[in-house]
């Protein structure tokens, strides 16, 4: 056999490129390789870019600048699985960068990423595709795209993946998606709640945590809560709470339970399984303050429903809450107080706190933490509303002082709550007096000046509740509270305006304060309010009427009418008809004016004026005025008049006496003159008219008395000879004042006689009106029953109105619609 000859290797074909191994150290070169058509090069380039991107955010930004996104996007649809897998892995990493996210949205890659979640794809592809979606789903636009491209269904399916990373990424993406309402509804349609609940059993805490967070959001919807309940969800959550090893999950678990407790049926379901009792025990005994606070908040969610409150009361939640008020953590105290606020809507719970709980809440009013004070004051406000026993309990626990201190708080809710509690207390006179003794009227001024409408409203209401006696109203006036109260009448807020009107009505119960309120413009403002259908309210009308009722001088000047229940008291004066847009001066202002030829101001006053300061050297001055006037002048000037027979030596000695500072003040102190003549009139009618039992005879006797004091009867034909104007001018001149006490008038016309008749009728109990007419006319109307018109049945007819003649035939009565009455009033 011949020797074997070695066969030479065949040379490669001429049209094939010899293999080339390239080692690149620049990312730019590798990015260029992404455009290659060779699968092996693409796979290796993607692998290199993946490793480069893993190294940090700067590298991700570099790849973005090099334009790697667009060629990578194309590779997501590549036929080769390895290329497609590597490209998906890159996007999973890159999508955490915000700038990359923006570019990816523009490139619209989400549909391609969602396609990678198909069941037949590898687990690695599932992992990084779901990671990319989890990163992208943080932003709203991407949420919408994932939802519209049908991404939720494969994500829910992947919750059952054997790979924990796939589970984690899928549940994280779903958690981001369910922040949107439409995605939450889709969770129900996809039956996603049971697989989410399965994740609670995971051995990985992060997966459990994300599952709880997702359930927390999902169970905000009632339908989802029902599915969760029917899937034994509450029981699973309570097991987590009972497991000490799961402490890091307790806060989120409690949030899920809190949502469930908003639903009455779910609450009952939890209670029937003993879960509610377990929750209360857990709350009371929780070791970690934050967990205890979260548990208390969970209970508070249930307490806002009336039916749930009944369930909680049956579980004796009040005992647990009282314990929580003493917790060290302020957040727990706040949460417990808020639950008490809600539970106070239940009458049985409210009564439970009568003896327990209120003292602890009052102590919290003194806490330095404003949140604690706010929650405590809100709880106390709710507990004392329409409950006098709780209001008493709060007072006994010494709540008044910290509440009044709280009126100066910088937090509006604290002020409003404190004002509410004080208002609730003020329904009892004994507590109201206690509040007054703590200088309340000065403390309430600051809340009235607050810019917050709620605070203004509550403060005004508190004033209305506490200013129920003269002392309180005087204190409020002295604290300059009336000024701010009148300003609040201008408020555009309906409740502020209403409560300010209420407070004005209460304060106007005293005549001096009613006069002061009118000076401040309250009457004009209320009149304007009452002309508006939108702005007026019951209290604005009542306040207006009260102001006029307690300022009859102004009422008569404005309206020209006083009813039979408008009882004229001392210091009433008639200044004539008040022109629109003008204000009525006070009596003092009229008295201090220089005498003029203007219409006299007619004064009704039976008070006896006495000097504020007396001097042993002062002699009784000699009267120079009409006999009906007290010898004291309108302006008390001690020692201003001396006896005519005083010796020169005594005058010199008098001049040497220097008045003290107090005496100088007294010299300038004004007080209205005493009308001795009017006092005599009252005494006389009390003896002659008052004893008469027949009303008609009383009226007749009083009319004749008034006419006799005012110049007697005057016939119509001789009215022009009745010189009442001249007489009145003489009186004004003698008094050196425009103010004329009615007892000084000896010749009076219609309006003088009608005023005197009304003033005396009010003293002896005869119901009479006072009506002003034109041309110095005024008259009185009375109601009488004419027994002569008794019917066949013997029943008395209804009373009729009559005008009392005080001028022509004093004592005669004229029916309102009679010719004589018309003549008396208008001619």
Give the mean pLDDT of the chain.
86
- The CATH topology of domain 114-230 is 1.25.10
467-500 per-residue burial string, b: 16 or more CB within 10 A, e: under 16: bbeeebbbbbbebebbebbbbbbebeeebbbbbb
Average of pLDDT values for 608-620? 42
- At 787, the pLDDT band (50, 70, 90 cuts) reads low
Predicted confidence (pLDDT) per residue in 700-757, tens digit: 999 999 999 999 999 888 888 888 888 999 999 898 889 999 999 999 999 999 999 9
Residue 483, both tokens: 């000024």
670-684 per-residue burial string, b: 16 or more CB within 10 A, e: under 16: ebbbbbbbbbebbee
The pLDDT value given to residue 2: 46
- At 9, the pLDDT band (50, 70, 90 cuts) reads low
Spans of all domains in the chain: 20-107, 114-230, 232-315, 587-606+672-826
3-state secondary structure of 813: strand
Give the C-alpha separation, 70 to 34, whole Å. Answer: 10
- At 784, the pLDDT band (50, 70, 90 cuts) reads confident
Is residue 422 a contact partner of residue 459, using CB atoms and an 8 Å limit?
no
Total Cβ atoms within 10 A of residue 553:
23
Predicted confidence (pLDDT) per residue in 449-504, tens digit: 999 999 999 999 999 999 999 999 999 999 999 999 999 999 999 999 999 999 99
Question: Is residue 228 pLDDT above 70, yes or no?
Answer: yes
Give the C-alpha separation, 748 to 711, whole Å. Answer: 6
User: Any residues with CB less than 8 A from the CB of 716 and at least 6 apart, and which?
Assistant: 808
Of residues 26 and 195, more confidence is placed in 195
The pLDDT value given to residue 799: 82
Kindly write down the DSSP assignment for every residue of 250-280, as one continuous string: HHHHHHHHHHHTTSHHHHHHHHHTTHHHHHH
Give Dmax (Cα) for the chain. 187
User: Any residues with CB less than 8 A from the CB of 584 and at least 6 apart, and which?
Assistant: 518, 553, 554, 557, 558, 575, 578
- At 173, the pLDDT band (50, 70, 90 cuts) reads very high
- At 793, the pLDDT band (50, 70, 90 cuts) reads low
Residues comprising the chain, all counted: 827
- Find the helix or strand (DSSP H, E) in which 739 lies: strand 739-741
Kindly write down the DSSP assignment for every residue of 277-306, as one continuous string: HHHHHHHHH-SSHHHHHHHHHHHHHHHTSH
Is residue 751 a contact partner of residue 807, using CB atoms and an 8 Å limit?
no
Predicted confidence (pLDDT) per residue in 422-436, tens digit: 999 999 999 999 999
Least confident of 130-134, 516-520, 608-612: 608-612
Question: Is residue 637 pLDDT above 60, yes or no?
Answer: no
Total Cβ atoms within 10 A of residue 788:
6
**CATH 3.90.1150.10 for the 20-107 domain, yes or no:** no
∠ Cα 659 660 666 (to 5°)? 85
- At 579, the pLDDT band (50, 70, 90 cuts) reads confident
Give the C-alpha separation, 597 to 613, whole Å. Answer: 34
The pLDDT value given to residue 32: 84
Pick from 423, 424, 421: which is nearest to 399 by CA?
A: 421
Pick from 768, 749, 772: which is nearest to 813 by CA?
A: 768
The pLDDT value given to residue 617: 33
The pLDDT value given to residue 16: 55
DSSP code for 778: E
- At 356, the pLDDT band (50, 70, 90 cuts) reads confident
Is residue 555 a contact partner of residue 545, using CB atoms and an 8 Å limit?
no
For the chain, state the CA radius of gyration: 46
Of residues 660 and 271, more confidence is placed in 271
3-state secondary structure of 23: coil
> Backbone phi, then psi, for 61, in 5-degree steps?
-65, -35
Predicted confidence (pLDDT) per residue in 246-274, tens digit: 989 999 999 999 999 888 888 888 888 88
The DSSP bridge pattern shows strands 739-741 and 601-604 to be parallel
Give the C-alpha separation, 551 to 558, whole Å. Answer: 11
Kindly write down the DSSP assignment for every residue of 229-241, as one continuous string: HHTTHHHHHHHHH
Pick from 106, 19, 112: which is nearest to 73 by CA?
A: 112
Same fold, 20-107 and 114-230: yes
Average of pLDDT values for 226-254? 91
35-64 per-residue burial string, b: 16 or more CB within 10 A, e: under 16: eeeeeebbbbbbbbbbebbeeeeebbebbb
Question: Is residue 626 pLDDT above 70, yes or no?
Answer: no
∠ Cα 509 514 516 (to 5°)? 145
Question: Is residue 581 pLDDT above 90, yes or no?
Answer: no
Average of pLDDT values for 519-548? 90
- Find the helix or strand (DSSP H, E) in which 772 lies: strand 770-772
The pLDDT value given to residue 511: 86
Average of pLDDT values for 196-222? 94
Total Cβ atoms within 10 A of residue 738:
19
CA atoms within 13 A on the CB side of 673: 31
Is residue 55 a contact partner of residue 19, using CB atoms and an 8 Å limit?
no
The β-bridge partners of 470 are: none
Give the C-alpha separation, 392 to 398, whole Å. Answer: 10
Give the C-alpha separation, 546 to 555, whole Å. Answer: 10
373-401 per-residue burial string, b: 16 or more CB within 10 A, e: under 16: bbbbbbbbbbbbbebeebbbbbbebebbe
Give the C-alpha separation, 630 to 610, whole Å. Answer: 10
- At 645, the pLDDT band (50, 70, 90 cuts) reads very low
Q: Percentage of the chain surpassing pLDDT 70?
A: 88
- Find the helix or strand (DSSP H, E) in which 4 lies: none
């Amino acid at each position: 056999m011949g020797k074997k000859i070695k066969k030479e290797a065949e040379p490669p074909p001429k049209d094939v490129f010899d293999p080339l191994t390239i080692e690149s150290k620049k990312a730019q070169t590798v990015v260029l390789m992404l455009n290659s058509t060779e699968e092996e090069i693409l796979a290796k380039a993607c692998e290199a870019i993946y490793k480069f991107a893993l190294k940090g955010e700067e590298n991700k930004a570099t790849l973005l600048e090099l334009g790697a996104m667009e060629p990578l996007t194309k590779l997501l649809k590549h036929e080769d699985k390895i290329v497609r897998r590597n490209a998906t892995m890159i996007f999973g990493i890159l999508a955490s960068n915000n700038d990359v996210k923006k570019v990816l949205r523009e490139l619209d890659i989400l549909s391609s990423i969602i396609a990678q979640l198909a069941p037949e794809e590898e687990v690695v592809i599932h992992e990084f595709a779901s990671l990319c979606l989890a990163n992208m789903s943080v932003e709203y636009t991407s949420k919408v795209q994932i939802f519209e491209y049908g991404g939720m269904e494969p994500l829910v399916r992947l919750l059952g993946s054997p790979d924990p990373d796939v589970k984690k990424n899928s549940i994280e993406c779903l958690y981001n998606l369910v922040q949107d309402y439409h995605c939450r509804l889709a969770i129900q349609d996809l039956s996603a709640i049971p697989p989410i609940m399965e994740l609670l059993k995971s051995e990985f805490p992060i997966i459990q945590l994300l599952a709880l967070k997702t359930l927390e959001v999902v169970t905000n919807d009632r339908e989802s809560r029902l599915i969760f309940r029917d899937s034994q969800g509450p029981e699973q959550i309570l097991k987590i709470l009972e497991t000490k090893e799961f402490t890091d999950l307790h806060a989120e678990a409690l949030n899920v339970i809190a949502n469930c407790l908003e639903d009455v049926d779910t609450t009952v379901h939890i209670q029937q399984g003993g879960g509610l009792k377990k929750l209360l025990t857990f709350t009371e005994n929780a070791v970690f303050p934050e967990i205890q606070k979260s548990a208390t908040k969970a209970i508070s969610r249930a307490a806002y429903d009336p039916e749930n409150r009944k369930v909680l009361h049956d579980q004796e939640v009040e005992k647990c809450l009282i314990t929580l008020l003493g917790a060290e953590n302020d957040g727990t105290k706040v949460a417990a107080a808020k639950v008490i606020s809600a539970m106070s809507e239940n009458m049985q719970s409210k009564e439970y706190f009568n003896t327990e709980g209120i003292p602890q809440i009052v102590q919290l009013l003194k806490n330095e933490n404003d949140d604690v004070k706010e929650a405590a004051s809100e709880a106390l406000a709710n507990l004392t509303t329409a409950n006098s026993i709780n209001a008493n309990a709060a007072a006994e626990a010494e709540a008044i002082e910290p509440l009044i201190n709280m009126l100066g708080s910088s937090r509006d809710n604290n002020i409003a709550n404190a004002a509410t509690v004080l208002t609730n207390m003020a329904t009892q006179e004994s507590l109201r007096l206690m509040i007054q003794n703590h200088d309340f009227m000065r403390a309430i001024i600051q809340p009235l000046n607050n810019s917050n409408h709620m605070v203004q409203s509550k403060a005004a209401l508190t004033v209305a509740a506490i200013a129920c006696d003269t002392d309180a109203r005087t204190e409020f006036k002295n604290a300059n509270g009336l000024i701010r109260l009148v300003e609040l009448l201008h408020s555009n807020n309906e409740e502020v305006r209403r409560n300010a009107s209420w407070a004005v009505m209460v304060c106007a119960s005293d005549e001096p304060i009613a006069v002061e309120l009118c000076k401040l413009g309250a009457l004009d403002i209320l009149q304007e309010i009452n002309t508006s259908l939108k702005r007026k309210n019951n209290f604005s009308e009542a306040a207006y009427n009260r102001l006029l009722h307690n300022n009859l001088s102004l009422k008569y000047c404005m309206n020209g009418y006083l009813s039979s229940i408008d009882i004229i008291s001392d210091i009433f004066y008639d200044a004539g008809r008040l022109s629109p847009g003008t204000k009525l001066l006070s009596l003092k202002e009229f008295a201090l004016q220089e005498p003029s030829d203007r219409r006299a101001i007619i004064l009704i006053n039976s008070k006896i004026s006495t000097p504020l300061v007396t001097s042993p050297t002062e002699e009784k001055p000699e009267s120079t005025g009409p006999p009906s006037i007290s010898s004291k002048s309108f302006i008390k000037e001690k020692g201003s008049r001396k006896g005519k027979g005083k010796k020169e030596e005594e005058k010199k000695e008098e001049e040497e006496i220097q008045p003290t500072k107090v005496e100088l003040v007294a010299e300038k102190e004004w007080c209205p003159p005493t009308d001795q003549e009017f006092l005599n009139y009252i005494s006389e009618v009390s003896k002659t008219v008052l004893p008469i039992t027949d009303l008609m005879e009383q009226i007749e006797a009083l009319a004749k008395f008034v006419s006799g004091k005012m110049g007697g009867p005057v016939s119509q034909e001789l009215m022009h000879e009745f010189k009442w104007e001249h007489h009145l001018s003489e009186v004004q001149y003698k008094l050196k004042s425009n103010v004329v006490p009615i007892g000084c008038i000896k010749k009076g016309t219609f309006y003088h006689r009608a005023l005197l008749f009304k003033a005396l009728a009010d003293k002896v109990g005869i119901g009479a009106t006072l009506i002003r007419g034109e041309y110095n006319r005024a008259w009185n109307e009375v109601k009488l029953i004419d027994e002569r018109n008794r019917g066949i049945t013997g029943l008395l007819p209804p009373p009729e109105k009559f005008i009392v003649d005080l001028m022509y035939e004093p004592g005669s009565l004229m029916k309102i619609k009679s010719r004589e009455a018309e003549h008396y009033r208008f001619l």
